Amino acid sequence: MFVVATAGHVDHGKSTLVRALTGMEPDRWAEERRRGMTIDLGFAWTTLPSGGTVAFVDVPGHERFVPNMLAGVGPVPAALIVVAADEGWMPQSAEHLAALDALGVAYGLLAVTRADLADPGPAIAHARAEIAATSLGAVPAVAVSGLTGAGLPELRAALDRLAAQLPAPGVDDPVRLWVDRSFTVRGSGTVVTGTLGAGRLRVGDELELAGADDPVRVRGLHSLGEARTEAAAVARVAVNLRGTPRDRLGRGDALLTPGRFHHTDLVDVRLAGDPAADLPATLTLHVGSAAVPVRVRPLGPDTVRLRLARPLPLLVGDRALLRDPGRHHVSGGVRVLDVAPPPLARRGAAAARARVLAELDGRPDLAGELRRRRLIQAGALIRMGVPVQDGPVRAEPADAGPVRDAPAYAEPVAGDWLADPAHWRRLGEQLTEEVARHAREHPLAPGMPVDALRQRLALPDRMLVEALVRPPLRVHAGRVAAASPDALPEPVARAVQRVRAEYGDRPFRAPEADRLVDLGLGPREIGAAVRAGALLRLADNVVLLPGALDDAVRVLAGLPQPFTLSAARQALDTTRRVAVPLLELLDRRGATRRLPDDARVVVT
Ligand SMILES: Nc1nc2c(ncn2[C@@H]2O[C@H](COP(=O)(O)OP(=O)(O)OP(=O)(O)O)[C@@H](O)[C@H]2O)c(=O)[nH]1
Ligand SMILES: [Mg+2]
């Protein structure tokens, strides 16, 4: 299926043409039929000569109903522009065309209707010239009469050719279904309709609805009047929602694949074409089927910041339209550059931001996003419309070209955190410096707490601190410190050296308490040396050199088993002060076992 929206001045024969092509009535309301004028969107479809299906979104031409028209064309990438042969190009012909241009619609057809009333030649020439100057470019033109049926076969063939040109939809992309109608069906509840431009919907799916805490559930699906279990883009769909009251949603809301869209009320955008210098401070932003008042803050020559009156699920690269509802005037198209822009608090921030925006073109750019954001979770980027790994790239209008040279994949640095490589390197260096500075200022502390580092480096997650730690640094017990004893503060290292020199040949003699004081080894210094593996602590103020445990086991194994404390003390040539805690430590480590009579054996 492909979907085409009509466009054109009031009374130029859009609905008549749709009716003649499909045999269906696009004017759904009695009031429309009574007044002979379309007020709201109409929907109809037919089979083309190729066997394919075309669905029409028929829009009103009257200037009062331009917002309805925009809700219809917003999600639709192709247009059937209708001009009456006897009236020619008119104000809403121009406004509708400006809207299509602003939205970047690149596929279309011109139908000059009422060709039974006047020579269609001049209207065709004028309209084609106007259209050629827009995103639609040169379009095929067909002269028709909705009254006599002349030209309809040619128009059907032209619709088939148009369908063949349209880019294939991303059927695996996330769903963003802009609601254009909602109503209640007795016995079924709330039903919404829309044009599914990408992705697929299935009965039973859970979808996200902006502003709702709970997901909504698809209870039933219809497309072209028939019940389906699944509908894939492109399609007109009617979605029956389970347990969602009718007043919870309506035109301008969107049903979304959960977790794939960022709801934003602040976007930086580029104005298309030659932006008017005097853009009003408040305008209406039209995107998808939504129309939201916005405040406009100029940034660069063609870039502005928009503050939306309510958040919308927007993606980088989205096309939208700004309109001045008071003046019945399309101010122009915009392309979304950033859906999570930084606040502009500091002096000069707006100018700096304008320079950044000058470099952006609305094409998702992973490397650029990482450079600007430095550190971000992959999920957050995906919700902005920036793919973080190889995958289907969103269908782009013809002018957008291929996605620029950017790494198609970024390796997370921790969890799902992605980092700009240069920033990550700098953070690593900063961490090393912070740990060294901390060690200088607190020489006896067992390293710098991970949380203190997280704060110093302004990191959002402890996990990132731990991922930044590289040898010789290591994380131990919530602190980051050098792993090697070489990192001992100089006086402690010297004291340990003295202990080694004095006690190296009497490995089971521990320095007396007053000797430790002489050496400058207080409890904190001993703690630092023990953590660095330079000393072994048996009890308060009882330390040996590392390796003493293994040596002791060797000596004790040479004794007749079991052995007493006194035998051990003599064999080790030491005192009770050392022997008692030493044996207890060996017991705890399972190297010796204490028997009921207090004798011990070496466990082999
Ligand atoms: N003679 C002749 N009359 C036509 C033709 N197409 C439409 N009309 C008449 O023109 C009038 C307007 O036609 P619609 O189809 O309602 O026009 P529209 O563009 O849908 O109008 P809006 O939806 O209100 O913008 C009706 O009276 C139609 O009967 C045509 O090809 N030939
Ligand atoms: Mg109509």
- Per-position DSSP letters for 143-193, written without gaps between them: E--TTT-TTHHHHHHHHHHHHHHSPPP-TTSPPEEEEEEEEEETTTEEEEE
Distance, in Å, from the CA atom of 255 to the CA atom of 237, rounded to the nearest integer, reads 12
**Shortest-distance atom of ligand 1 to CA 10:** 25
| Residues, CB within 5 angstroms of ligand 2 (ion) | 14-15, 38
Does any ligand 1 atom lie closer than 6 A to the CB of residue 364?
A: no
Task: Tell me the CA distances in angstroms from 170 to 319, 397, 599, one per residue in order.
Answer: 17, 13, 79
198-232: pLDDT as tens digits: 999 999 999 999 777 788 999 999 999 999 999 99
pLDDT given at position 400:
43
333-384: pLDDT as tens digits: 999 999 999 999 888 999 999 999 999 999 988 889 999 999 999 999 999 9
Does any ligand 1 atom lie closer than 6 A to the CB of residue 152?
A: no
10-53: pLDDT as tens digits: 999 999 999 999 999 999 888 998 898 999 999 999 999 999 99
Distance 154 CA to ligand 1 centre (A): 19
What backbone torsions phi and psi does residue 234 show, to the nearest 5 degrees? -85, 140
Tokens of 482: 């050098």
Does any ligand 1 atom lie closer than 6 A to the CB of residue 223?
A: no
Does any ligand 1 atom lie closer than 6 A to the CB of residue 61?
A: yes
**Shortest-distance atom of ligand 1 to CA 19:** 15
433-482: pLDDT as tens digits: 999 898 888 877 788 999 999 999 999 999 999 999 887 788 888 888 87
Distance, in Å, from the CA atom of 490 to the CA atom of 510, rounded to the nearest integer, reads 22
pLDDT given at position 188:
85
Length of the chain: 604
Distance, in Å, from the CA atom of 285 to the CA atom of 294, rounded to the nearest integer, reads 6
Does any ligand 1 atom lie closer than 6 A to the CB of residue 147?
A: yes
Distance 58 CA to ligand 2 centre (A): 7
Distance, in Å, from the CA atom of 313 to the CA atom of 260, rounded to the nearest integer, reads 9
Distance 147 CA to ligand 1 centre (A): 9
SS3 539: strand
- DSSP at 211: T
Does any ligand 1 atom lie closer than 6 A to the CB of residue 104?
A: no
268-304: pLDDT as tens digits: 999 987 665 678 899 999 999 999 999 999 999 999 9
Tokens of 372: 């600007």
- What pTM does this model have? 0.78
Does any ligand 1 atom lie closer than 6 A to the CB of residue 146?
A: yes
Does any ligand 1 atom lie closer than 6 A to the CB of residue 93?
A: no
- Of the candidates 375, 245, 383, the residue with the CA atom closest to the CA atom of residue 311: 383
Does any ligand 1 atom lie closer than 6 A to the CB of residue 118?
A: no
Burial code of 167-199, b = ≥16 C-beta within 10 A, e = fewer?
A: eebbeebbbbbbbbbbeeeeeebbbbbbbbbbb
Q: At what angle do helices 576-589 and 565-572 cross, to 10 degrees?
A: 110
Tell me the pLDDT band of 137, cut-offs 50, 70 and 90.
Answer: very high
Which residue's CA is the nearest one to ligand 1's atom 1? 114
Q: Is the pLDDT of residue 398 over 60?
A: no
The residues pairing with 2 across neighbouring beta strands, listed in sequence order, are 54
Does any ligand 1 atom lie closer than 6 A to the CB of residue 135?
A: no
Distance, in Å, from the CA atom of 599 to the CA atom of 63, rounded to the nearest integer, reads 104
Mean pLDDT of the chain: 90
Distance 334 CA to ligand 2 centre (A): 28
pLDDT given at position 98:
93
138-173: pLDDT as tens digits: 999 999 999 999 999 999 999 999 999 999 998 999
Distance 20 CA to ligand 2 centre (A): 12
pLDDT given at position 275:
67
Distance, in Å, from the CA atom of 590 to the CA atom of 341, rounded to the nearest integer, reads 61
Rounded-to-5 percentages of helix, strand, coil across the chain = 30, 30, 40
**Shortest-distance atom of ligand 1 to CA 117:** 1
What backbone torsions phi and psi does residue 241 show, to the nearest 5 degrees? -105, 135
Which residue's CA is the nearest one to ligand 1's atom 2? 114
Q: Burial of 351 by CB count in 10 Å (0-12 exposed, 13-18 middle, 19+ buried)?
A: exposed
- DSSP at 29: S
Does any ligand 1 atom lie closer than 6 A to the CB of residue 116?
A: yes
Q: List the alpha helices (DSSP H) in 272-420.
A: 349-358, 366-373, 378-384
Does any ligand 1 atom lie closer than 6 A to the CB of residue 37?
A: yes
Does any ligand 1 atom lie closer than 6 A to the CB of residue 72?
A: no
Measured in whole angstroms, the distance separating CA 168 from the mean position of its chain's CA atoms is: 24
Which mutation among 16, 95, 142, 147 tests ligand 1's pocket best, with the greatest number of atoms within 8 A of CB? 16
